Amino acid sequence: MMGIKQENQGRTSVEELSIPSLSSSRAELRYEGKAKRVYAVAGHADLVWVEFKDSLTAFNAQKKGAFAKKGEINCQVTDHIFRYLTSMGVANHWREKVSPTAAVCVGVTIVPLEVVVRNRLAGSTAKKLGRPEGAALIRPLVEFYVKDDELGDPFVSEEQIEVLGLASQTDVRECKAQALEVNKSLLALFLNAQLDLIDFKLEFGRNLKGELLLADEITPDTCRLWDTKTGEKLDKDRFRRDLGNVEGAYEEVLARLLQSQPARSQ
Ligand code: AIR
Ligand code: ASP
């Protein structure tokens, strides 16, 4: 979702900066995606300012919508989850939330693959195989999709990635291993909030040192979350499938995460 490019070497770490200095340092727009805008941070070439928008898209932007507070909710949900993942030792781009809708992150060059982890079958894979949604899997399934809206983010096999040179074998191996680690942490986090993590999409990128960092966002836009008791869908499928009360579902996810108080990094 984000195509962050790095231009030059920066040395200052955000930990040394205070929130007021960061909040006054948003610089030029680098990239605008469907749900976020990415800006440079003045004086810090290694950082980016990520602003969450209120817009909502599905089916690669063929369906468009929005609701007030969506940017705020998704920024808060991502902040909560990335701080938790940091506490669990997952290397990621998130540094500091600097406004209700924005965070300063480490700039990364995005690996051009969407990494999907499925704990139960749903969505596109259930549909194409004619299986019922919610079917159990013998183990979590990791799938790769090419990040390309015009092509509709097509599924690619690991062999296609290798032979067609879509990403390096190291990228594939590291993304897969990290995605499975993230899955373990997220399953526990969401279960604490009475949410079943059915599947989700991750994006990874490399920082200036070449380290692979979990990037982008983790929100009801990027995860399927079902209520553990009722099976109610509390994610973007409410928008994709016209189920109504999209905003209420996003608010519910945030409220449950905040109430469940998992291990936190700060
Ligand atoms: N996803 C994939 N592309 C964009 C997003 N947000 C997420 C969906 C779902 C998972 O990846 O939100 O949680 C699998 O999507 P699908 O459509 O392949 O079943
Ligand atoms: N393809 C994704 C979805 O259907 C993302 C998007 O189009 O915004 O949710």
Q: What are the tens digits of pLDDT across the range 19-31?
A: 556 656 999 999 9
Residue 42: Cβ-neighbour burial (10 angstroms; 0-12, 13-18, 19+)? middle
The answer to whether residue 11 scores a pLDDT higher than 80 is no
Per-residue tokens: 75: 């920024």
The best mutation among 56, 199, 233 to test binding of ligand 1, ranked by most ligand atoms within 8 Å of the C-beta, falls on: 199
Cα 155 to averaged position of ligand 1 atoms, centre (Å): 11
The mean pLDDT value for 153-162 works out to: 98
- Nearest ligand, CA 240: 2
Protein residues whose CB sits closer than 6 Å to any atom of ligand 1: 114, 116, 122-125, 153, 199-201, 221-224, 236
What is the pLDDT, as a whole number, of residue 30? 97
Cα 134 to averaged position of ligand 1 atoms, centre (Å): 14
Mention every residue, 6+ apart, whose C-beta is less than 8 A from residue 257. 77, 80, 81, 189, 193
Span 130-152, pLDDT tens digits: 999 999 999 999 999 999 989 99
Residue 124: Cβ-neighbour burial (10 angstroms; 0-12, 13-18, 19+)? middle
Q: Categorize the per-residue pLDDT at 261 as very low, low, confident or very high, splitting at 50, 70 and 90.
A: low
Tell which atom from ligand 1 comes closest to the C-alpha of 237.
Answer: 12
What is the pLDDT, as a whole number, of residue 10? 37
Query: Is the CB of residue 60 below 6 angstroms from any atom belonging to ligand 2?
Result: yes
**Which percentage of the chain shows pLDDT scores above 70?**
89
Tell which atom from ligand 1 comes closest to the C-alpha of 116.
Answer: 11
The mean pLDDT value for 195-206 works out to: 98
Where on the phi/psi map is residue 127: left (φ > 0), alpha (ψ -120 to 50), or beta?
A: alpha
The mean pLDDT value for 236-251 works out to: 98
Tell which atom from ligand 1 comes closest to the C-alpha of 198.
Answer: 13
CA distance 49 to 109: 15
Tell which atom from ligand 1 comes closest to the C-alpha of 200.
Answer: 13
The answer to whether residue 14 scores a pLDDT higher than 70 is no
Tell which atom from ligand 2 comes closest to the C-alpha of 34.
Answer: 8
Cα 33 to averaged position of ligand 2 atoms, centre (Å): 11
Tell which atom from ligand 2 comes closest to the C-alpha of 56.
Answer: 8
The mean pLDDT value for 182-186 works out to: 98
The answer to whether residue 61 scores a pLDDT higher than 50 is yes
Cα 240 to averaged position of ligand 2 atoms, centre (Å): 9
Residue by residue, DSSP assigns 196-219 as EEEEEEEEEEE-TT--EEEES--S
Query: Is the CB of residue 237 below 6 angstroms from any atom belonging to ligand 2?
Result: no
Evaluate if pTM is beyond 0.85: yes
Residue pair 186/84 in contact (Cβ under 8 Å)? The answer is: no
**Which percentage of the chain shows pLDDT scores above 90?**
86
Q: Could you give the domains of the chain? A: 26-109 (3.30.200.20), 111-246 (3.30.470.20)
Query: Is the CB of residue 59 below 6 angstroms from any atom belonging to ligand 2?
Result: yes
Q: Categorize the per-residue pLDDT at 60 as very low, low, confident or very high, splitting at 50, 70 and 90.
A: confident
Mean pLDDT, rounded, of the chain? 91
What is the pLDDT, as a whole number, of residue 4? 35
The answer to whether residue 264 scores a pLDDT higher than 90 is no
Higher-confidence residue of 206 and 6: namely: 206
The C-alpha R_g of the chain, in whole angstroms, comes to 18
Span 65-108, pLDDT tens digits: 999 999 999 999 999 999 999 999 999 999 999 999 999 999 99
The answer to whether residue 9 scores a pLDDT higher than 80 is no
Cα 113 to averaged position of ligand 1 atoms, centre (Å): 13
The answer to whether residue 12 scores a pLDDT higher than 60 is no
The mean pLDDT value for 192-207 works out to: 98
